[in-house]
């Protein structure tokens, strides 16, 4: 790594400057005055006129959304901020990063927390500039007035000296809590779209910026623009409040200053925004730093670059993430903060990492292990620390491969467990009154229920009790449709070679369909769930209702005629695309289109209070209760908005956004004897291997229970710290102990 030259650039003034005016907004107990600066290796804080001590960041990113609310509604309450800050402190978080001005409640809660705790929580504050706003502008310099205005508002807010009038999409109110002595610095902007950087560089003649506090002597037009924005913000705070603190801009792998010849997508290595282009002047008392969002699975260069994929980390293990960090830190003169890192605990997956740190399909326990390891990687790379993304799950988020299948205007109102972007949090929001998926019967008392109208077929082979269905129960919540099968006698663990179960689910009212697995029966089925044990359980879909085939089938090489006009009894696996395919430039290797089966069902205990809790569990078998339970994510069933009972319509004819309302879901259940190859009618030496059905069967068809899901305007939910939160707390505690 290059020797960092911070003190050489900022001069003597940077080593002795002051920042902050003390807490003064709430109550009479003021905190000690603090000064902040960037030193050779990272952040430094001086308290009450004392010497500067280093501060390694152990942070979390805090968004402004919560269930039932878009972030622009600024609906988080004081009680929630109080509760969350207290929990952050217990996890040894010392920095919370916010992307924009929050409601006044945050600053009041932070002031109160820091007055009552010896170890404060500091803030890294940003200003939000939307990606669509940037793309529409093209040339970022046209946004300078609004950008500077937003930063002045940030500065006024943290000093508790402004009133913000209501404006759609933004927080407002009276900001009367001075938290400036807790503001470690500013990180402005977002992950810069390459197209905007290119256009700004192309249309803007001016290069470089000679600022009072921050300069870009040789910067590109875009880098000069960023330097000017930072300089204006620092100057405003210095003039208005006599304070300075470190300031930097957001950056990401896509616009880093490194060359990436193995990156297959040109836009991901087309243009650079170099933090080293922005330097502190002699008038600066606080300095600047580099702030990067770095995830392990994107862009593809992190997988495809041999130097990264083969890099051996401090544990002696191959680690592309550590390899990239080592490269980035070595090419950066400024201290480097990893301002976002994380992996989600979603059921669905959107990107793969060569070493398993994928974007999704992690249990909460696995998520925690990966986050802890990534924080270790960040610290071992000689950085200024890292900030986990994110503090809490965010229901309003979308992910590229799942986004086409849900209503964008209703995403905050339900919990889409398929979507990785919604499950990065350490804090979960669980739907209220959800069944725990652990076999306990009490949670199902209010479920819609049916009992069988006829006796089962008895074979006398010892499995008749497991095949006899005594009840079918159906319920739902903001995340799942849940079904419980109750049996006469499971007899311990089921013998899956002797007995399987089938659920037929109908949402479209398109009539009866021939069922698979040798049942030789029909039902109003758009989806069929087979429960055949841990390795043979899945949800399949009637081909014409396969949204994956419609949206991604051409790229996947599917015979689309089969999906437009399927054969009777044809059901197909549910899949998710995770890679559309690309060619690695340096080698010419073709990485093909890739999808995964997302309809496969995982067995486990879904109760967070259980020591055997598996957050990805879909099916639970309870021999002690003679029950088999299954929960199905709404998106898996083409439900675009469960809060209003809206589903995908006939997308082959009208497109994916032609939503239709459904009044109820038809649910039929059956037990059967599995045949060779997943269903053979000779299994009973009869025309069908069906042994029992609930509500019943007649004239070759399964009867269905009509289940009417509840609708809602605001989702009811409860908060829960994930196991991943505890893992992050443990690793933060470990590093905090080294520093004390």
Beta pairing, strands 43-47 & 34-38: antiparallel
422 shares its domain with 448: no
How distant is the alpha carbon of residue 541 from its chain centre? 26
Residue 471 lies in a domain: yes
Q: How many CB atoms lie within 10 A of CB 207?
A: 15
357 shares its domain with 452: no
pLDDT cut 70: percent of the chain above it:
94
Q: How many Å from the N-terminal Cα to the C-terminal Cα in the chain?
A: 26
Q: What is the CATH number of the domain that holds 733?
A: 3.20.20.80
pLDDT in tens, 568-611: 999 999 999 999 999 999 999 999 999 999 999 999 999 999 99
pLDDT of residue 739: 83
pLDDT of residue 445: 95
Q: What is the CATH number of the domain that holds 637?
A: 2.60.40.1190
Cα gap 75→715, rounded to integer Å: 14
pLDDT of residue 30: 59
CB 252 within 8 Å of CB 258 = no
Residue 571 exposed, middle or buried by CB count within 10 Å (0-12, 13-18, 19+)? buried
Angle at 526 between CA 521 and CA 531, to 5 degrees: 65
State which H helix or E strand residue 138 sits in. none
Q: How many CB atoms lie within 10 A of CB 738?
A: 8
* Token pair of 23 as six digits: 């807490």
Cα gap 524→239, rounded to integer Å: 71
Instruction: Write the DSSP assignment of 30-56 as a string of letters.
Output: PPPPEEEEE-SSSEEEEETT--EEEE-
Instruction: Write the DSSP assignment of 322-348 as a string of letters.
Output: HHHHHHHHHT-SS-EEEEEE-----SS
Residue 564 lies in a domain: no
Place of tokens 């950085």: 383
311 shares its domain with 388: yes
pLDDT of residue 687: 62
pLDDT of residue 584: 98
CA distances 40 to 54, 286, 289, Å, are: 10, 12, 10
Cα gap 57→169, rounded to integer Å: 30
Residue 509 lies in a domain: yes
Cα gap 103→520, rounded to integer Å: 60
Ranges of the chain whose pLDDT falls below 70? 1-30, 676-687
Residue 257 exposed, middle or buried by CB count within 10 Å (0-12, 13-18, 19+)? middle
Model pTM score: 0.94
Residue 378 lies in a domain: yes
Instruction: Write the DSSP assignment of 521-584 as a string of letters.
Output: -EES-SEEEEE-STTS-EEEE-GGG-HHHHHHHHHHT--HHHHHSPPTT--EE-EEEEE--EE-
Residue 571 lies in a domain: no
pLDDT of residue 438: 98
252 shares its domain with 395: yes
499 shares its domain with 400: no
Residue range of the domain that includes 57: 34-430+717-737
Looking at the structure of the chain, the number of domains it has is: 2
Residue 49 lies in a domain: yes
Cα gap 676→517, rounded to integer Å: 10
CB 388 within 8 Å of CB 368 = no
pLDDT of residue 503: 98
Q: How many CB atoms lie within 10 A of CB 612?
A: 11
Residue 590 lies in a domain: no
pLDDT of residue 295: 98
pLDDT of residue 206: 78
pLDDT of residue 127: 97
168 shares its domain with 248: yes
- Strands (DSSP E) contained in 189-269 are 214-215, 247-252
């Amino acid at each position: 790594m290059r020797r960092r030259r911070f003190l050489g650039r900022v001069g003597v003034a940077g080593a002795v400057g002051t920042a902050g005016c003390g807490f003064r907004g709430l109550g009479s107990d003021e905190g000690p005055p603090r000064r902040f600066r960037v030193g050779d290796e990272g952040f430094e804080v001086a308290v009450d006129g004392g010497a500067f001590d280093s501060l390694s960041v152990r942070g979390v990113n805090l968004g402004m959304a919560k269930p039932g609310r878009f972030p622009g509604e600024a609906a988080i309450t004081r009680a929630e901020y109080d509760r969350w800050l207290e929990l952050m402190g217990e996890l040894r978080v010392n920095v919370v990063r916010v992307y924009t001005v929050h409601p006044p409640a945050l600053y009041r809660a932070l002031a109160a927390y820091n007055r009552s705790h010896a170890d404060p929580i500091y803030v890294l504050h940003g200003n939000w500039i939307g990606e669509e706003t940037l793309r529409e502008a093209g040339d970022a310099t046209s946004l300078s007035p609004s950008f500077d205005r937003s930063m002045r508002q940030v500065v006024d807010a943290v000093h508790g000296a402004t009133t913000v009038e209501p404006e759609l999409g933004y927080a407002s109110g009276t900001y009367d809590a001075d938290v400036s002595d807790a503001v470690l610095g500013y990180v402005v902007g977002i992950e810069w779209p390459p197209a905007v950087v290119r256009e700004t560089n192309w249309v803007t003649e001016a290069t470089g910026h000679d600022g009072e506090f921050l300069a870009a002597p040789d910067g590109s037009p875009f880098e000069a623009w960023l330097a000017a924005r930072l300089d204006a913000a620092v100057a405003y705070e210095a003039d208005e409040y006599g304070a300075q603190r470190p300031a930097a801009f957001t950056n990401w792998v896509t616009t880093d200053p490194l060359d990436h010849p193995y990156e297959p997508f040109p836009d991901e290595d087309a243009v650079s925004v170099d933090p080293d282009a922005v330097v502190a002047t002699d008038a600066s008392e606080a300095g600047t730093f580099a702030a990067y969002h770095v995830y392990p699975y994107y862009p593809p260069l992190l997988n495809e670059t041999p130097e990264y994929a083969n890099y051996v980390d401090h544990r002696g293990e191959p680690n592309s993430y550590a390899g990239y960090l080592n490269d980035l830190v070595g090419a950066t003169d400024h201290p480097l903060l990893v301002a976002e890192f994380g992996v989600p605990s979603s059921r669905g997956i959107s990107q793969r990492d060569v070493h398993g740190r994928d974007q999704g399909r992690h249990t909460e326990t696995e998520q925690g292990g990966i986050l802890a390891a990534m924080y270790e990687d960040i610290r071992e790379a000689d950085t200024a620390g890292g900030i986990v993304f994110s503090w809490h799950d965010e229901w309003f988020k979308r992910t590229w491969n799942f986004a086409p299948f849900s209503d964008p205007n209703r995403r905050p109102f339900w919990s889409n467990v398929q979507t990785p972007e919604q499950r990065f949090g350490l804090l979960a929001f669980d739907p209220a009154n959800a069944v725990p998926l652990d076999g306990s019967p009490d949670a199902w008392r209010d479920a819609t229920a049916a009992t069988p109208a006829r006796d089962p077929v008895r074979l006398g082979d010892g499995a008749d009790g497991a095949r006899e269905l005594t009840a079918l129960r159906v319920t739902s919540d903001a995340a799942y449709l849940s079904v419980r099968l109750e049996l006469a006698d499971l007899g311990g663990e089921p013998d899956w070679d002797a007995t399987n179960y089938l659920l037929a689910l109908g949402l479209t009212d398109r009539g009866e369909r021939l069922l698979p697995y040798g049942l030789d029966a029909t039902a109003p089925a758009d989806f069929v769930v087979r429960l055949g044990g841990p390795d043979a359980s899945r949800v399949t879909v009637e081909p014409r209702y396969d949204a994956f085939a419609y949206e991604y089938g051409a790229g996947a090489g599917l015979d689309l005629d089969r999906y437009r006009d399927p054969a009777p009894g044809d059901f197909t696996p549910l899949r998710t695309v995770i890679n559309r395919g690309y060619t690695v430039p340096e080698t010419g290797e073709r990485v093909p289109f890739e999808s995964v089966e997302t309809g496969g069902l995982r067995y486990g205990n879904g109760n967070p209070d259980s020591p055997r809790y598996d957050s990805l569990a879909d099916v639970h078998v309870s021999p002690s209760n003679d029950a088999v339970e299954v929960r199905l994510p709404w998106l898996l069933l083409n439900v675009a908005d469960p809060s209003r009972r809206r589903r995908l319509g006939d997308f082959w004819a009208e497109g994916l956004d032609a939503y239709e309302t459904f009044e109820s879901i038809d649910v039929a259940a059956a037990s059967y004897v599995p045949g060779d190859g997943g269903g053979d009618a000779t299994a009973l030496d009869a025309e069908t291997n069906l042994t029992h059905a609930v509500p019943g069967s007649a004239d070759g068809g399964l009867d269905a229970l009509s289940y009417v899901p509840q609708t809602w305007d605001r989702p009811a939910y409860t908060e829960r710290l994930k196991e991943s939160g505890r893992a992050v707390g443990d690793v933060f505690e470990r590093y905090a102990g080294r520093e004390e």
